[in-house]
């Protein structure tokens, strides 16, 4: 087995929104260099943030065999994930300023990393990457051009190594299934269910973004507390943690990035729940095929109305084999 980098010749853009990915190895990571030209058609200067630009890149998708989703995330989602799964300095600071003069433009370059598990590209009939962009960032401010250059980090295995690692029928494979859900959050004086955890897959972690419905950006509507509730057979608060404390725990365990004033934390409105570490304590996480909808709930206590954007960090596994052998080849990025 050996590893290699491969930068693809074909790029994603506002016009070319889909490319095929190679299918002759195991894709360990996808590194994205996103060059964005932001134009200001207004009569006044624009002062925004990296977050506003990255949220306009609404979705970057990696899909195999037509319908199997490995990644479906906004560029902002990916940047936030990189604060948890990458070393210091890689993740772009979402609060970083973006300033453009009246009738001017600027080209910004962001590096993003999709690294939540192995995609067994060699076993696929098709594999593609797609991009969806909403060009409007603010009034008179738009994305006028975009180029996304994709570099793959690949592992090349012999047939014997492939079988020894993932099984003769891929029964030990655990491909990434990373996607986002958005739900409204209402003010409450006690822990109140805001989201039923999805079922069916191996849930290793979940990243929460509390979005201000006025600005569309994370922060300023943080909850006071977060809970993880198991309702079956009886209601039990598995986690009940003060939100700033959870953010402090995250800062102690992950890089998190830099603090951009006036914020007082690196990632305002954002926190990670690591089920594999903090709940099951076995490196795997919640077995989504063992419970039904409503059995596990994410809850919040908050004085603010908000939108919760929840990034599901899951793996697709062979449930029967996993239950028998407790084995799956995960990428332990956290």
Provide the pLDDT for residue 228.
98
Provide the pLDDT for residue 29.
97
Provide the pLDDT for residue 106.
98
Task: Find the angle CA(326)-CA(332)-CA(334) to the nearest 5 degrees.
Answer: 125
The span from the CA of 151 to the CA of 112, in Å, is 10
Provide the pLDDT for residue 51.
98
The span from the CA of 25 to the CA of 119, in Å, is 9
Per-run averaged pLDDT (10 residues), the chain, 334 residues: 96 98 97 99 97 98 98 98 88 95 98 97 98 98 99 96 94 98 97 97 98 96 98 94 96 86 90 96 96 97 97 98 92 60
Report yes or no: 110 and 56 within 8 Å, Cβ to Cβ.
no
188 backbone dihedrals φ, ψ, rounded to 5°: -155, 155
Provide the pLDDT for residue 194.
98
10 Å CB burial of residue 160 (0-12, 13-18, 19+) is: exposed
The H-assigned helical ranges of the chain are 50-56, 75-85, 159-166, 243-253, 275-278, 319-325
Q: Omega before 233 cis (within 30°)?
A: yes
Provide the pLDDT for residue 251.
92
166 backbone dihedrals φ, ψ, rounded to 5°: -105, -5
Q: Residue 269, by phi and psi: left (phi above 0), alpha (psi -120 to 50) or beta?
A: left
Provide the pLDDT for residue 255.
80
Provide the pLDDT for residue 154.
96
What are 291's two structure tokens?
């419970």
- 3-state DSSP assignment of residue 316: strand
> pLDDT tens across 299-317, in order?
999 999 999 999 999 999 9
Q: Report the greatest alpha carbon distance in the chain.
A: 65
Please name which of 114, 71, 73 lies closest in space to residue 91, comparing C-alpha atoms.
Answer: 114
Please name which of 94, 97, 59 lies closest in space to residue 211, comparing C-alpha atoms.
Answer: 94
Provide the pLDDT for residue 262.
85
10 Å CB burial of residue 9 (0-12, 13-18, 19+) is: exposed
Provide the pLDDT for residue 67.
96
- 3-state DSSP assignment of residue 274: coil
153 backbone dihedrals φ, ψ, rounded to 5°: -105, 115
Q: Omega before 279 cis (within 30°)?
A: no
Residues near 261 by Cβ (< 8 Å), separated by ≥ 6? none
Please name which of 52, 47, 51 lies closest in space to residue 79, comparing C-alpha atoms.
Answer: 51
In eight-state DSSP terms, residue 246 is H
Report yes or no: 55 and 78 within 8 Å, Cβ to Cβ.
no
Provide the pLDDT for residue 115.
96
What are 264's two structure tokens?
């007082």
The span from the CA of 117 to the CA of 54, in Å, is 23
Please name which of 300, 299, 301, 306 lies closest in space to residue 185, comparing C-alpha atoms.
Answer: 306
């Amino acid at each position: 087995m050996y590893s290699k980098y491969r930068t693809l010749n074909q790029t994603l853009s506002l016009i070319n929104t889909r490319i095929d990915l190679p299918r002759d190895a195991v894709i360990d990571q996808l590194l994205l260099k996103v060059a964005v030209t932001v134009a200001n058609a207004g009569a006044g200067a624009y002062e925004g943030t990296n977050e506003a630009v990255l949220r306009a890149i609404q979705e970057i998708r990696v899909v195999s065999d037509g319908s199997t989703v490995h990644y479906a995330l906004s560029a902002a989602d990916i940047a936030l994930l990189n604060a948890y799964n990458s070393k210091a300095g890689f993740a772009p600071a979402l609060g970083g300023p973006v300033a453009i003069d009246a009738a001017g433009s600027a080209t910004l370059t962001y590096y993003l990393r999709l690294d939540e598990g192995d995609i067994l590209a060699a076993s696929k009939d098709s594999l593609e990457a797609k991009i969806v962009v909403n060009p409007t960032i603010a009034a008179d401010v738009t994305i006028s051009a975009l180029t996304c250059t994709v570099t793959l980090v690949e592992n090349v295995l012999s047939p014997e190594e492939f079988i020894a690692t993932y099984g003769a029928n891929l029964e030990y494979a655990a491909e990434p299934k990373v996607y986002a859900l958005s739900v409204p959050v209402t003010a409450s004086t006690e822990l109140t269910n805001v989201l039923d955890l999805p079922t069916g897959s191996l849930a290793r972690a979940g990243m929460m973004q509390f979005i201000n419905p006025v600005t569309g950006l994370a922060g300023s509507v943080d909850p006071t507390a977060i809970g993880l509730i198991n309702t079956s057979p009886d209601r039990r608060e598995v986690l009940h943690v003060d939100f700033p404390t959870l953010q402090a725990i995250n800062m102690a365990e992950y890089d998190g990035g830099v603090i951009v004033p006036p914020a007082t934390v690196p990632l305002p409105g954002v926190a990670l729940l690591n089920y594999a570490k903090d709940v099951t304590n076995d490196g795997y996480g919640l077995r989504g095929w063992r419970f039904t909808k409503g059995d596990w709930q994410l809850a919040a206590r908050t004085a603010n109305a908000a939108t919760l954007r929840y990034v599901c960090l899951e793996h697709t596994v062979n449930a029967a084999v996993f239950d028998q052998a407790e084995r799956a080849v995960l990428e332990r990025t956290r």
